Structure 1
Amino acid sequence: MSKVVIIGGSGHVGTYLVPRLVEAGHQVVNVARGHKQPYRPHAAWKQVETVILDRDAAEHEQRFGSAIAALEADVVIDMISFVLPRTQHLVEALRGRIQHFIHCGTIWVYGHNATVPATEDQPLNPFGEYGTQKAAMETWLLGEARRAGFPATVFRPGHIVGPGWDPLNPAGHFNSEVFSSIARGEPLVLPNFGLETVHHVHADDLARLVMAIIDNRSAAVGEAFNAVSPQALNLRGYAEAMYRWFGHEPQLRYLPFDQWQAMQSPDEAAATWEHIIRSPSHSMEKAKRLLGFVPRYSSLEAVQEAVSWLIANGRVASPQD
């Protein structure tokens, strides 16, 4: 088995990935800024070495890459790089010293999809700082894999969902009060006709995909993989399903976006716009073909598990409230 260093392993994906790595027999090192607890307790964490390292400070001092290289990993998984120079700095320190480098990208590298579900061979068309930077990183990494043999793989998560945090809701933002309103059977107003799409993925399916990437290194190196549920949801279908899950008939109204956003907080309106302007819908066929990977959770199953946790922890109203 391998020594695996995961940078940012205490977050959503790491909560599921780290125990899977330990159970598979890997030696695991979690590099984190502090002693943050994972979202779900698991006995496997007792076998994990934690290295406290402030990435921002270490990169400013040009010592982050050497600090990671000094851990002498076989596999490095980078969950938290958001600008190209950070990735380049790390790769130069690791070049020739690791067997596999796995980078967490995003489906936002696609920008506007010309056809759906979008496949990995479609050209990238990002806009906005986040998507543009992530596209630059994965383009550079995969170029290094082709030109210089650097063993890089990229996975592109959708809207990550799991117990312990607020999922992207049917209004296209993250205010959990939307679920409480649906639970009470109250009306919900959606932008436009509610036909724009969102594409969730359960954090454990992301963990399973990373495991498949590690287990199928020869097929994965030099490749990018979508990382989403089997199907996207449009806002209307998502809302209708959640009303019925709570035992109500849907109570939906629609307004043009300009009118709708005037009824929202600026942050929530901006979050919705960022999601629906992209309307992600992506194919998982490549991961199935090359890695034998199939997601276990549908978008609704992933969301409903997360909302059940919110209800149990008093953060979303139950239908009886």
Structure 2
Amino acid sequence: MKVIIIGGTGHIGTYLVPRLIKAGHTVVCVSRQQAEPYVNDETWTSVEYVTIDRTKAEENGDFSSRILALKGDVVIDLICFTTESARNLAEALNGKIQHFLHCGSMWVHGYSEQIPTTENQKRNPFGEYGIDKAKIEAYLLAFHKESGFPVTILHPGHITGPGWLPINPAGHLDPEIFIRLAKGEEIVLPNFGMETVHHVHADDVAQAFIKAIENKKNSIGESFHVVSEQALTLRGFAEGVASVFGREAKLKFLPWEEWGKVNNPRNKELTWDHIAHSPCGSIAKAKQLLNYQPKYSSLEAVQEAIEHYFDKLGIQVGPNQEGKYSS
């Protein structure tokens, strides 16, 4: 089949494109510019690149027609963030393609009343991103019921892997947290460190897209969580990272207001967003209907990303006597 990937040069596309090529599909990658994938793979030489600036094309009113003109059997949209954008594309493609896959987010759930959160639980989104993604999901599923539009929605958690720094045990993106844990130095966590984060390796996200295409009868008209088997508490996350480097985590805890005073505004904003959501998603539905089997645990996905980051910057870590890592 001919598969059109919108936004295919990013982290998910790095793993999704090679999987599609190896499965025998023809792949057209639509993006603003031809970028290098995060991980090299010879299959990229088989990809057709089409340069379209989505924002400008949507302003001109011809984005959907340009995607339609590519005559794909399957369209995968990895970079849709508004209902209007989703509606314009879905209406243009309806009846013209076999399958449409939209990349959503675990943020559609907002806060959870029961965990692990399942796909059919009540949505309580908050924040612009989560609210917009929830609106897109609701529109696409309603359009499917109304017209038969062949849509599948996949909701990844915190995507990570080589080239993409993970959310850290403090709930933000400062890599210094990982460096301190690798050195056996103290880090400070908010509250009691019992809020959760739920990572997923980008290759497992790619796997889920492939499985959704292969199991089209089970996936059309449905939403699926795409995360690792288990979420991590901030505390457990810190302890796990430290152990990877042969260290024991040295943790200090502060109430939220005090913690915020010793962190910069950007870190505080990101951490609040993550601990307020505290995602913990069930993948039972994806496992049953798609045969989704994540290769990486949360900690394994993060470990691969951290090691890549350390190697890239020349941060000296090496194997100790236990075969783990120490600074």
TM-score (norm 2): 0.96
Question: Could you tell me which amino acid in structure 1 is paired with residue 169 of structure 2?
Answer: P
Deviation at 1:284, TM superposition (A): 0.4
Cα distance, 1:315–1:155 mapped onto 2, change above 3 Å: farther
Question: Could you tell me which amino acid in structure 1 is paired with residue 46 of structure 2?
Answer: Q
**C-alpha distance in 1 between matches for 2:301 and 2:281:** 17
* Contact 1:238–1:300 (CA under 8 A) maintained in structure 2: yes
Q: Which SS does the other structure have where 1:136 is aligned? A: helix
- Unaligned runs of 5+ residues in structure 2 are 318-324
Q: Which SS does the other structure have where 1:153 is aligned? A: strand
**C-alpha distance in 1 between matches for 2:287 and 2:75:** 23
* Contact 2:197–2:279 (CA under 8 A) maintained in structure 1: yes
Indicate the larger mover: 286-295 or 218-227.
286-295
**Which residue matches 2:7?**
8
**Which residue matches 1:71?**
70
* Contact 1:159–1:200 (CA under 8 A) maintained in structure 2: yes
Cα distance, 1:316–1:82 mapped onto 2, change above 3 Å: farther
CA RMSD of aligned residues (A): 1.0
Deviation at 1:300, TM superposition (A): 0.3
How do 1:1-321 and structure 2 match up within 5 A? 2-314=1-313, 316=315, 318=317, 321=327
**C-alpha distance in 1 between matches for 2:303 and 2:211:** 25
Deviation at 1:184, TM superposition (A): 1.2
* Contact 2:159–2:201 (CA under 8 A) maintained in structure 1: yes
**C-alpha distance in 1 between matches for 2:210 and 2:133:** 22
State percent identity of aligned pairs: 51
Question: Could you tell me which amino acid in structure 2 is paired with residue 262 of structure 1?
Answer: K
**C-alpha distance in 2 between matches for 1:250 and 1:136:** 40
Indicate the larger mover: 164-173 or 220-229.
164-173
Q: How many residues align?
A: 320
Deviation at 1:123, TM superposition (A): 1.3
* Contact 1:81–1:87 (CA under 8 A) maintained in structure 2: yes
Question: Could you tell me which amino acid in structure 2 is paired with residue 141 of structure 1?
Answer: L
Q: Which SS does the other structure have where 1:5 is aligned? A: strand
Extract structure 1 runs of 4+ deviating beyond 4 A: none
Question: Could you tell me which amino acid in structure 2 is paired with residue 78 of structure 1?
Answer: D
Deviation at 1:145, TM superposition (A): 1.0
Deviation at 1:37, TM superposition (A): 0.7
TM-score (norm 1): 0.98
Deviation at 1:316, TM superposition (A): 5.0
Question: Could you tell me which amino acid in structure 1 is paired with residue 264 of structure 2?
Answer: S
* Contact 2:230–2:298 (CA under 8 A) maintained in structure 1: yes
* Contact 2:246–2:326 (CA under 8 A) maintained in structure 1: no
* Contact 2:224–2:285 (CA under 8 A) maintained in structure 1: yes
Question: Could you tell me which amino acid in structure 2 is paired with residue 285 of structure 1?
Answer: A
Deviation at 1:247, TM superposition (A): 1.3
Q: Which SS does the other structure have where 2:139 is aligned? A: helix
Q: Which SS does the other structure have where 1:277 is aligned? A: helix
**C-alpha distance in 1 between matches for 2:111 and 2:79:** 24
